[in-house]
Amino acid sequence: MSEDLKILDEVTNSEYKYGFVSNIESDNAPKGLDESTVRFISAKKNEPEWLLEWRLKAFRHWLTLEEPTWANVHYPKIDFQDIIYYSAPKKKPSLNSLDELDPEIKATFDKLGISLIEQQRLAGVAVDAVIDSVSVKTTFRETLGELGIIFCSFSEAVHDHPDLIKRYLGSVVPHTDNFYAALNSAVFSDGSFCYIPKGVRCPMELSTYFRINSAGTGQFERTLIIAEEGSFVSYLEGCTAPMRDENQLHAAIVEIVSHTDATVKYSTVQNWYPGDKNGKGGIYNFVTKRGICMGDRAKISWTQVETGSAITWKYPSVILKGDYSVGEFYSVAVTNNMQQADTGTKMIHLGKKTKSIIISKGISCGKSQNSYRGLVRIAKKAEHARNFSQCDSLLIGDKCGAHTFPYIEVGNKTAKVEHEATTSKVGEDQIFYCNQRGISTEDAVNLIVNGYCKEVFNQLPMEFAVEAQKLLAISLEGSVG
Amino acid sequence: MLRIKNLQASVEGKKILNGLNLEVKPGEVHAIMGPNGSGKSTLASVLAGREEYEVEGGTVQFLGNDLLDMSPEDRARAGVFLAFQYPVEIPGVSNANFLKTAVNEVRKSRNLAPMDSKEFLQIMKEKMKLVEMDKAMTQRSVNEGFSGGEKKRNEIFQMAMLEPTLAILDETDSGLDIDALRIVSNGVNALRDGNRSFIVITHYQRLLDYIVPDFVHVLYKGRIVKSGTKELALELEEKGYDWIKEEVAVGA
Is there a contact between A428 and B81 if contact means CB atoms under 8 Å apart? Answer: no
| B58 within some domain | yes
- Residue B91 has its nearest CB partner, among A434, A436, A452, at A452
* SS3 labels along A60-114: HHHHCCCCCCCCCCCCCCCCHHHCCCCECCCCCCCECCHHHCCHHHHHHHHHHCC
Is there a contact between A432 and B72 if contact means CB atoms under 8 Å apart? Answer: yes
Q: Which domain holds residue B204?
A: 2-90+165-251
| B53 within some domain | yes
Rounded Cα–Cα distance for residues A109 and A188 (Å):
30
Strands A150-153 and A190-196: antiparallel
Chain A residues near residue B71 by CB distance under 8 angstroms:
435
Contact, B191 vs B214, CB < 8 A?
no
What is the predicted pLDDT for the residue at A96?
63
Judged by a CB distance cut-off of 8 A, whether residue A390 touches chain B is no
**More confidently predicted of A1 and B101:** B101
Chain A residues near residue B51 by CB distance under 8 angstroms:
428, 432
What is the predicted pLDDT for the residue at A215?
38
What DSSP designation does B114 have?
Answer: P
What is the predicted pLDDT for the residue at A16?
27
| B157 within some domain | no
**Test mutation, A363, A432, A440, A456, chain B, max B CBs within 10 A:** A432
**More confidently predicted of B30 and A104:** B30
| B131 within some domain | no
| B127 within some domain | no
Chain A residues near residue B72 by CB distance under 8 angstroms:
432, 435-436
| B135 within some domain | no
Closest CA to A453 of A475, A441, A468: A468
What is the predicted pLDDT for the residue at B137?
87
Q: Looking at chain B, which residue has its C-alpha nearest residue A456?
A: B92
Judged by a CB distance cut-off of 8 A, whether residue A448 touches chain B is yes
**More confidently predicted of B243 and B70:** B70
Rounded Cα–Cα distance for residues A356 and A346 (Å):
10
**Test mutation, A428, A436, A449, chain B, max B CBs within 10 A:** A436
Chain A residues near residue B50 by CB distance under 8 angstroms:
432
ipTM score assigned to the predicted complex: 0.95
Rounded Cα–Cα distance for residues B146 and B157 (Å):
14
Contact, A306 vs A336, CB < 8 A?
no
SS3 call for B204: coil
Q: Looking at chain A, which residue has its C-alpha nearest residue B48?
A: A436
Average pLDDT over chain B reads 92
- Residue A448 has its nearest CB partner, among B72, B93, B158, at B93
Percent of chain B with pLDDT over 70: 99
The β-bridge partners of A222 are A191, A253
Is there a contact between A437 and B158 if contact means CB atoms under 8 Å apart? Answer: yes
Relative orientation angle of helices B148-162 and B95-109, to the nearest 10 degrees: 30
SS3 call for A382: coil
| B142 within some domain | no
Looking at the complex, report in whole angstroms how far the Cα of residue A136 sits from the nearest Cα belonging to chain B: 32
Please report which confidence band the pLDDT of residue B6 belongs to, taking 50, 70 and 90 as the band edges: very high
CA A129 to chain centroid, in Å, comes to: 29
List, for chain A, all residue ranges whose pLDDT scores fall below the cut of 50. Answer: 1-26, 90-93, 124-136, 210-217
What is the predicted pLDDT for the residue at B196?
95
- pLDDT, average across residues B145-161: 93
What is the predicted pLDDT for the residue at A416?
96
Q: How many domains does chain B have?
A: 1
Question: What's the pLDDT tens digit per position in B112-127?
Answer: 999 988 999 999 999 9
What is the predicted pLDDT for the residue at A480?
63
What is the predicted pLDDT for the residue at B104?
94
- Residue A439 has its nearest CB partner, among B48, B102, B141, at B102
Looking at the complex, report in whole angstroms how far the Cα of residue A428 sits from the nearest Cα belonging to chain B: 9
Show which residues on chain B lie within 8 Å of chain A, measured between beta carbons: 48-51, 71-73, 75-77, 81-82, 84, 87-93, 97-99, 101-102, 105-106, 109, 141, 158, 162
Judged by a CB distance cut-off of 8 A, whether residue A428 touches chain B is yes
What is the predicted pLDDT for the residue at A88?
62
Looking at the complex, report in whole angstroms how far the Cα of residue A443 sits from the nearest Cα belonging to chain B: 9
Q: Looking at chain A, which residue has its C-alpha nearest residue B101?
A: A439
What is the predicted pLDDT for the residue at A123?
54
CATH number reported for the structural domain that contains residue B227 in this entry: 3.40.50.300
Contact, B47 vs B40, CB < 8 A?
no
Chain A residues near residue B84 by CB distance under 8 angstroms:
433, 436
| B205 within some domain | yes
A contact residues 215-234, partner B, Cβ 8 Å cutoff: none
Question: What's the pLDDT tens digit per position in A261-291?
Answer: 999 999 988 888 787 777 777 888 899 999 9
- pLDDT, average across residues B136-161: 92
Contact, A27 vs A87, CB < 8 A?
yes
Rounded Cα–Cα distance for residues A406 and A347 (Å):
12
Going A49 to A51 to A53 to A55, the CA torsion angle's sign is negative
Closest CA to A299 of A243, A355, A245: A355
What is the predicted pLDDT for the residue at A189?
83
| pTM for the whole structure | 0.80
Looking at the complex, report in whole angstroms how far the Cα of residue A124 sits from the nearest Cα belonging to chain B: 35
SS3 call for A254: strand
Closest CA to B2 of B81, B117, B94, B97: B81
Closest CA to A234 of A297, A299, A288: A299
Size of interface A-B (CB pairs under 8 A): 76
Going A153 to A159 to A160 to A165, the CA torsion angle's sign is positive
Question: What's the pLDDT tens digit per position in B191-231?
Answer: 999 899 999 999 888 899 999 999 999 999 999 999 999 99
SS3 call for A251: coil
